[in-house]
Structure 1
C-alpha cells in the first residue's frame, strides 16, 4: 500500500486524494481551512438506543446535563394549532429538539463516558399518504433516544448503563449496525457568513406560508434524520447520526475525508472527545472545560457524581484546564512530533512540571496545564527530555475571559 506523504501532494490534488486514499489532509490546520467544508464518518463513535416509558427519567438521574427537553413533544413548536395550514415539504418534522451533550460520571465525580443524545424524527412529522399534511400519531408516552458514544468502550458502556437500570422500564441496545455518526466541519461550515448553507435542522420542515422544500431536501434525509449544530461549540461544525446505508445530505463525494482531519480540527479548538482523551475514572470534568462545552446543567437536580461538580463549580477556581497547543522548534516553526499520551510538559526556566500532553496529532495537541504557569508572560515550555520541542500554548477564542482573569487577579493579590 502506498504511504500517505502529505508534503508530496499539491493543494490542487487535495480532493482526489481524499476520495481515493482517505489519507489525512495534512497536519496543517490551514489546509483544512482552505479545503472546507468537509465531512467524516466517525468510526470512533457508536450508537446506542434507549427506549421505554422510563427513558427520560432514567437518563435525567444519571447524566450531567438536562435531557428533559428531548423528551418533550417534538412535532411542532409551542403555540402552533391544529387549524394552521401546512405547506407540503419533504419528510421532515417542523421542529426537532437539538442534541444534548452530556457525561456519565463515577459516584466520586470523575469522568466515565461522554454522550451526544438525539431524539429520532417523530412519526407525526412525516408526510401522510396524501402528501398534504403530517401523519397523525396516537398519544404515546414512550420515549426513544439515541446516543452517540465512544466505540472503543461500547461493551463497557452498555454494561454500565444496564447495571444502573435496576427496575426502570428502559431498554438499552446497540444500534451501530443501523446508524452511523458523522461530523461536518471546516472554516466555511463553522463560519457565520450568511452565504454559507447552514444545515441546522431546527429551522426547517413544516412551514407556515414559506416553502422551504429545496432547502429541506438538501439538509435532511427522507426519513427525517438531520444535521444539527454541534452542541459543544458552533465552530466545531455540525453533527448527526444517519442510517448506515445512506450518505448524509450535503456530503459531496470529494469532500468526505479521513476522521483524523476532524480530530485535527477539534484539537485546534481545544476540545477532547471520548474516554481515551478524557481519561476514564480519573478526569475531573470541569478541568476538561465541560461547563464551557454545554455538557453540565447546574440547576437540573441530582445526578451521579454531582457533589464534586457542584462544590468545584461554586468554589469558582479551576487551576488546571485542557488547553490546546502547538509543537514548535527553537525558531517558532511548527514541527510534527510523535508524542505519547501523558508526556510531561515543563517550564524551561525552573524545570517544574506544568502539565501533561493528552493527545498530539502532527504539530497540534491538547494537554492539561496549570493555567497560571502556562499563560504567564514570557512562559517557555517544552516537552520533558526534549528541549528542542517547544510548546506554544494557544488560548481558544471561545474561552470566557474569567478563566484567565481569575488567575491573573490571584497572582496580583499574592504579590502585594
Structure 2
C-alpha cells in the first residue's frame, strides 16, 4: 500500500472515532473524499486523490501576445502559395494539419512568422485556415494579404472570439515529451495540434474565448506566460516581432529550415530569390541561438551588439527574460564567452549553445 493510501486509511479510522462529534453526514462526506466506503479502501479514488495532490503532467499557457486570423475560400491555397515560404500543398492536400511558415518582403527578410492550422471545410472545394501571428502585427498582416488578394475568392477576417493556448509537458526530460494529453471534450477544441516547429514546444490549442482549457484536460495546470517565454528561450525558439524584427530578420539565420518552415521545391513566392541563393550556397554565418546572460539583464538589451573578449564583433542580442534569451550569433565565435553592453556602465557575459532539437550536423541542412 502506498504512503498516501495508508494515510487515507488512518483518516478513515479517525473519522469513525469522531463520528458523533462531526455528525454522520459530514463523516460520510470525508470518507468518500479519501476513498473509504463500506469499510473498504477504494483504490481508484485513492489514486485520484493522489493525482490531485501531486504535480500535474502538463502546463497550459495563455498566449495573449499571439492572435488568430481566418482565411477561407476556394482560392485560399493558391493565394497563400505565392506569399509564404512553405508549401501550401501540405495543408490543402491533407498531408499536414498544422504548418509553420514565414512571409517575406521583396528583399527576402521576414515580416511575419505564422503557424497555419487547417479547419474542416464548410463547403465542397473550399479551404479554411487559421493563421496564428504576433498580435501586434495582426492589422499589418491583414493589409498585406488584402494587397495581394486582387480578385481571388478568399475572405480574410480576425477571430476575436477565439483563444490560443500552448500545452507543454512539465517533465520535458523524463520521457513524457511524446505523451499526448487527452481531451475530455474534443469537440470543444477548434484546433488541437502538435506544434509544427518542434515537439519540444508541446501542443497548440484553440478554443472559444469563454472556455477554460483546464476543463478539457484532467492532468493539467495553468502556468504564467513569462514561463512559456523562458521555455522558448531555453530551447532557442524564436516567436514574434521581438525575436524576429520585421524587415530585419533573415529566414535562414532565424533557423526556419530547422523549424520545418520552408520548402525549396515549391514555386515562386515573394522574397524567394535571396533565400534560395543563400540555401544553395550553403553559407549561413550567423544564427539565432539561445544564450545565458550573467548577471541577468536589469535594463533592456534588445538590439545591443555582441563582441568577443578581444572586442571582435560577434552578433546582436534580440530579446531575453531574466537570464535567458536569444541572440543572433556569428557561428565562428559561438563557442566563446561573449560580452554585451545594454548600457554604457553595464557589461554582461553571454554564453550561447546549440539546442538539442537542432540537427547534429547543421551543414546537412
TM-score range, shorter chain: 0.7 to 0.9
Q: Is the 8 A contact 1:36 1:189 kept in 2?
A: no
143, 155, 159: which one aligns with 1:171: 155
Q: 1-side partners of 2:211 and 2:176: how far apart?
A: 29
Residue by residue over 1:199-231, the C-alpha shift from the partner in whole angstroms, topping out at 9 and shown as x without a partner, is 4xxxxxxxxxxxxxxx5x43x532453421110
**1:328-379 Cα shifts (integer Å, max 9, x gaps):** 25xxxxx45433211121111x21221111001100011001001122xxx2
2:144 aligned with 1:185, yes or no? Answer: no
Higher mean Cα deviation, 65-74 or 110-119?
65-74
- Structure 2 distance, partners of 1:155, 1:284, is 22
Deviation of 1:263 (Å): 0.8
Q: 1:369 is matched with which residue?
A: 329
Bigger Cα Rg: 2
Cα distance in structure 2, aligned partners of 1:142 and 1:404: 40
Give the alignment of 1:251-330 within 5 angstroms.
Answer: 251=217, 255-328=221-294
Q: Distance in 2 between matches of 1:223 and 1:380?
A: 49
| Alpha-carbon separation, structure 2, partners of 1:251 and 1:282 | 40
Asked whether the 8 Å contact 1:119–1:145 carries over to 2, the reply is yes
Query: 1:386-401, aligned counterparts within 5 Å?
Result: 389-401=348-360
Unaligned runs of 5+ in 1: 1-33, 75-96, 124-138, 200-214, 330-334, 407-416
The answer for the alignment partner of 2:64 in structure 1 is 43
Q: Find the counterpart in structure 2 of residue 79 from structure 1.
A: none
Deviates more, 1:148-157 or 1:396-405: 396-405
Contact 1:338 1:360 in 2 (8 A): no
Change (3 A) 1:140 1:340: same
Report the Cα distance in structure 1 between the residues aligned to 2:138 and 2:175, rounded to whole angstroms: 35
Residue in 2 aligned with 1:198?
Answer: 180
User: For residues 187 and 336 of structure 1, do their structure 2 counterparts lie closer, same or farther at Cα, with a shift above 3 Å needed?
Assistant: farther
- Give the alignment of 1:43-62 within 5 angstroms: 43-62=64-83
Q: Using the alignment, how far apart are the partners of 1:400 and 1:295 within structure 2?
A: 15
Structure with higher RCO (Cα < 8 A, 6+ apart)? 1
Aligned partners of 1:121 and 1:224 also within 8 Å: no
Decide which structure has greater strand share: 2
Once the two structures are superposed, the pairs formed by residues 193-232 of structure 1 within 5 Å of their partners are 193=176, 197-199=179-181, 215=182, 217-218=183-184, 221-223=186-188, 225-232=190-197
CA 1:324 to 1:243, structure 2 compared with 1: closer, same or farther past 3 Å?
Answer: same
Cα 1:392–1:386 shift into 2, 3 Å: farther
8 Å contact from structure 1 (residues 190, 234) kept in 2:
no
Aligned residues: 308
Gaps of 5+ in 2: 1-54
Larger deviation, residues 244-253 vs 285-294: 244-253
| Structure 1 segment 376-415 matched on structure 2, within 5 A | 379-384=336-341, 389-403=348-362
Q: Secondary structure at the match of 1:398?
A: coil
Work out the CA distance in 1 between the residues paired with 2:94 and 2:311.
Answer: 57
Equivalent-residue separation in structure 2 for 1:253 and 1:386 (angstroms): 47
2:137 match:
153
Q: Structure 1 residues 191 and 404 mapped into 2: Cα distance closer, same or farther (>3 Å)?
A: farther
- Change in 2 beyond 3 A, CA 1:306/1:366: same
Give the TM-score normalised by structure 2.
Answer: 0.77
Asked whether the 8 Å contact 1:39–1:251 carries over to 2, the reply is no
1:239 has 2:239 as partner: no
The aligned counterpart of 1:81 is none
Partner of 1:93: none
